[in-house]
Structure 1
């Protein structure tokens, strides 16, 4: 972390910005794996979306505890809401992989 006490300056600090990109990538992979799992398990309708919400909350909790150490506003500009927000691209990736794996595994059911 930066040696400046100002949280805004710490969020602009280049290593912190690169670390936030890693957090975004972790959230993206989590939604992709959840979509693949929902498709392989054959979940339909709200059960699949419940898995997506559960994986998003679990990922946000792990990032909150492990990476942010309970202080997300120090590391992420949006704070806790930014950790819990799945993002449009993650939701679309989830649905894409959900339908892909559902079609591959359950094509003859």
Structure 2
């Protein structure tokens, strides 16, 4: 009887878990820096309401754009498993950091 083996997938990339973990940590660091700088800028300028919401979207878009440019446009698959994980990972952490820095600097500049 002949043993049948599953066909090997030759074009499927192989990822190192350690490298992926490191790249995600660098991604988190970049997002945290972008959120803190954006939140501080929004607080100093005094953005509130819809203007503040639009500014946080702008900062998030600018941060993601810089990450994709650094990784090489269309080449993020070399460093991350999927492009979706690059965009969606640590969104809540980004927002919490942004709000923290926004409230701190808004309070210092406009309240006191």
**Which TM-score bucket, shorter chain as reference?**
0.7 to 0.9
Q: Is the 8 A contact 2:46 2:110 kept in 1?
A: yes
Residue matched to 1:29:
33
Unaligned runs of 5+ in 1: none
Equivalences, count: 102
- Report the TM-score, using the length of structure 1 for normalisation: 0.79
Unaligned runs of 5+ in 2: 1-10
Q: Which has the larger radius of gyration?
A: 2
Highest RCO, 1 vs 2 (Cα 8 Å, sep ≥ 6): 2
Contact 1:11 1:76 in 2 (8 A): no
Q: What pairs up with 1:25-104 in 2 under 5 angstroms?
A: 25-79=29-83, 81-85=84-88, 87-104=91-108
1:31 to partner: Cα distance:
0.8
Alpha-carbon distance, 1:74 to partner: 3.2
TM-score (norm 2): 0.77
Q: What is the root-mean-square deviation in Å for CA atoms of aligned residues?
A: 2.2
| Structure 2 Cα separation of the partners of residues 51 and 11 of structure 1 | 36
Write out the 4+ residue segments of structure 1 that deviate beyond 3 Å after TM superposition.
none
